[in-house]
C-alpha cells in the first residue's frame, strides 16, 4: 500500500496565500457581502436640521415691531383653555410675560393699557405697581373642571430681576370665559402679543424704551 507523501514545509505559505486570494475575490465580486464603507440610510447618524428655538423664543424679527395700541385676537369656536403657568423674564430690549395654557382649541386675547384696573365680575379695583398698567384678558378660557387642566396657583404677584419695563404681573381669575391678568410698567411702553404653540402660550412683550 502506497503512503500519501506529507506536504513539505516550504509549500505551506503558498497554500495560505492561495486561500487568502480566493477569499478576497469573493468579497469584491458584488455578492451578498456588505461593504463597510456603505453610506448610511437617509436620516441616519447626526441630524442636519436647524436647532429648535427655546420654548419661549419668538420667531419674529429682532427690530421689535410694537406700539401702544390695543391688541386683540379671536379664540377658536372650540376653545376651552386654562392658564396653567405664568412666567416673567427680562430679554434684550424687552420684558416677556408668558401665559401657558392647556385644553382644547386656540385662545384669543384683548391686551390694552387701562387707567383703572378692575377685577372682572366684581369690578373691584386691582392694585398694580407701576406708572401704567396693561390689562390682559385671555378669551376662550375654561374652568379646570371643563378642561381637565389645573389652573395656575403660584404667586398672584410676580416680579423678576433685571426687567427694564415691567414692574410686576398680577394674575387675576377666570370669569365667564375670560382669564384676566395685569402687567404693570414704568410707562406706556410699546408692546406686542402673539400666540406660541406646543404648548399653547399667549406671549406679551413690553419694550424697555419707546
- Distance (Å, whole) CA 134 – CA 35: 66
pTM of the entire structure?
0.72
Of 171, 88, 189, the closest CA to residue 131 belongs to 189
Decide: helix, strand or coil at residue 50: coil
Mean pLDDT rounded to a whole number for the chain: 79
Read off the C-alpha cell for 103: 385644553
| CA atoms in the 13 A half-sphere facing the CB of 169 | 25
Read off the C-alpha cell for 79: 376653545
Better-scored residue on pLDDT, 6 or 210: 210
Report residue 210's pLDDT band, with 50, 70 and 90 as the boundaries.
Answer: confident
CB atoms within 10 A of CB 181: 27
Instruction: Name the residue with cell 406671549.
Output: 203
Domain ranges of the chain: 71-207
Check pLDDT > 50 for residue 64: yes
Contact 164, 95 (CB under 8 A): yes
Of 138, 128, 118, 149, the closest CA to residue 180 belongs to 138
Q: What percent of the chain has pLDDT over 90?
A: 67
Topology annotation, domain 71-207: Immunoglobulin-like (2.60.40)
CB atoms within 10 A of CB 149: 21
Amino acid at each position: 500500500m502506497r503512503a500519501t507523501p506529507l506536504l513539505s514545509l516550504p509549500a505551506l505559505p503558498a497554500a495560505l496565500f492561495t486561500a487568502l486570494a480566493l477569499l478576497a475575490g469573493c468579497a469584491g465580486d458584488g455578492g451578498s457581502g456588505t461593504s463597510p464603507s456603505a453610506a448610511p440610510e437617509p436620516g441616519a447618524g447626526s441630524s442636519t436640521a436647524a436647532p429648535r428655538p427655546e420654548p419661549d423664543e419668538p420667531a419674529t424679527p429682532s427690530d421689535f415691531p410694537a406700539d401702544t395700541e390695543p391688541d386683540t385676537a379671536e379664540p377658536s369656536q372650540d376653545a376651552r383653555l386654562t392658564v396653567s403657568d405664568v412666567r416673567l423674564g427680562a430679554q434684550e430690549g424687552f420684558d416677556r410675560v408668558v401665559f401657558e395654557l392647556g385644553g382644547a382649541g386656540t385662545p384669543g386675547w384683548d391686551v390694552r393699557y387701562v387707567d383703572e384696573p378692575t377685577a372682572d365680575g366684581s369690578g373691584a379695583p386691582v392694585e398694580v405697581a407701576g406708572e401704567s398698567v396693561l390689562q390682559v384678558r385671555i378669551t376662550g378660557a375654561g374652568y379646570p373642571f371643563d378642561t381637565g387642566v389645573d389652573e395656575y396657583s403660584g404667586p398672584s404677584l410676580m416680579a423678576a430681576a433685571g426687567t427694564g419695563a415691567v414692574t410686576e404681573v398680577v394674575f387675576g381669575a377666570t370669569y365667564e370665559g375670560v382669564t384676566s391678568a395685569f402687567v404693570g410698567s414704568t410707562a406706556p411702553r410699546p408692546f406686542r402679543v402673539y400666540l406660541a404653540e406646543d404648548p399653547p402660550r399667549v406671549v406679551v412683550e413690553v419694550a424697555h424704551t419707546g
